Amino acid sequence: MLKKFIVNLKKNKYPIIIGYKLFNKDYILKYFKHKKKYIVITNNTLLNLWKKYFYKYLKKSHIFVDIISIPDGENYKSLNEVNNIITRLLTKNYGRDSILIAFGGGVIGDLTGFIASIYQRGIEFIQIPTTLLAQVDASVGGKTGVNHNLGKNMIGSFWQPKYVIIDLFFLFSLPKKEFLSGFSEVIKYAVIFDKKFFSWIENNFNKLKNLDKNTLLYCIYKCCKLKAKIVLLDEKEKNCRALLNLGHTYGHAIESYMNYKNLLHGEAVSMGIVLALETSYIIGILKKNVLHRIIKLLKCFNLPVLPPKNMPALSYILYMKKDKKNILSKIRLVLPSHIGLVKIYNNISQEIIISAIKKTLQRKY
């Protein structure tokens, strides 16, 4: 069970390795150099869960590993935590020859990548994602960053990893809710790019939910390939890479309003996708049967399809106006017209956005 391919950027080439129980195999050792110092950035939960499997493997192989563990949660994806970690790196005299390892989900990956991009003007880092959402999306493409009180991912950089090592074994320890939340990103890829992949997910959702290894391996590989393809075309998100934000403009607004608490990122993306679908339907570019087909698949993975009832429609506008993808202060939305076809719109009025929010809240999908 192993798949591998190269993300072949002009200035950065790096492999993505996908398999099961990779850290029980000598194969993975070739990606670690004995003369380098590796600093693992993780959270306390993962440290306790995987110390024997992951850290002991590296130490047994005589790889020098230090560990920086932070509390778990989106609210720790902050400049304050960046400062804390950099202080620890400087205290221990880690130089440019050191390599950071992001061992965790999207929060850890974004935070570690951002620190790697700015520490001593840039050092190498490795992505070892442990959540489905990070494995199919966040770990690939070099987007890094932290949140600000006024908006999600407002402070960041593009900094490509040295390697991405995706081990399916980590998924088996995830709480079911967190595991399933990652499928919002999987469905997102299918809606944006690939109608056949969408049908494949419909036909295999039970195997995916029940962690069938071969089915998961194909699913993750497919998503990584789709993302790598768009990153090759537009690494710095100046054009078509923005298509990957389907559901995220609405979703980030929800996360910001809720102060990144009591809601998983994948759940917010699922809500955001539904709001984008409803917007498409209102302006007449999406048929009702397609809207319901996509929502039905989201529900197959127990994903939420209704936004928070207590969030005022005007609060969406407040946060969406601060979205970093906006141009000339106009809210940009990625909206689907068919499964496998989406487009960026700069001219959707606030009235339509508010109408989409209100109508979604009234629906009984």
Question: What count of Cα atoms within 13 Å lies in the side-chain half-sphere of residue 209?
Answer: 14
Question: What count of Cα atoms within 13 Å lies in the side-chain half-sphere of residue 295?
Answer: 22
Asked about 245 being catalytic, the answer comes back as yes
CB 163 within 8 A of CB 15: yes
Catalytic residue, chosen from 43, 74, 81, 143, is: 143
Catalytic residue, chosen from 77, 152, 222, 241, is: 241
Asked about 143 being catalytic, the answer comes back as yes
Residues 6+ apart with CB under 8 A from 215: 204, 207, 208
Candidates 140, 129, 115; CA nearest to 50 is 129
Asked about 43 being catalytic, the answer comes back as no
Place of tokens 């994806």: 77
C-alpha torsion angle, residues 339, 341, 342, 347 (rounded to 10)? -110
Residues 6+ apart with CB under 8 A from 214: 1
Q: How many residues does the chain have?
A: 365
Asked about 237 being catalytic, the answer comes back as yes
Distances (CA, A) of 108 to 32, 129, 305, 363: 20, 9, 26, 36
**124-147: b (≥16 Cβ within 10 Å) or e:** bbbbbbbbbbbbbbbbbbbbbbbb
With 0-12 CB in 10 A as exposed, 13-18 as middle and 19+ as buried, what is 354? middle
Catalytic residue, chosen from 43, 147, 153, 245, is: 245
Catalytic residue, chosen from 74, 248, 255, 267, is: 248
Catalytic residue, chosen from 35, 62, 121, 288, is: 121
Catalytic residue, chosen from 227, 255, 267, 332, is: 227
Q: DSSP letters of 111-166? A: HHHHHHHHGGG--EEEEEE-SHHIIIIITSS-EEEEEETTEEEEEEEE---SEEEE
Torsion sign (Cα): 186, 188, 194, 200: positive
CA angle in degrees (0–180, nearest 5) for 340-343-347: 155
| Secondary element (H or E) of residue 334 | strand 333-338
Catalytic residue, chosen from 265, 267, 278, 332, is: 265
- Report the C-alpha gap between 255 and 205 in whole angstroms: 27
Catalytic residue, chosen from 81, 185, 235, 255, is: 185
Catalytic residue, chosen from 235, 237, 255, 278, is: 237
Supply the residues annotated as catalytic. Answer: 121, 143, 185, 227, 237, 241, 245, 248, 252, 265
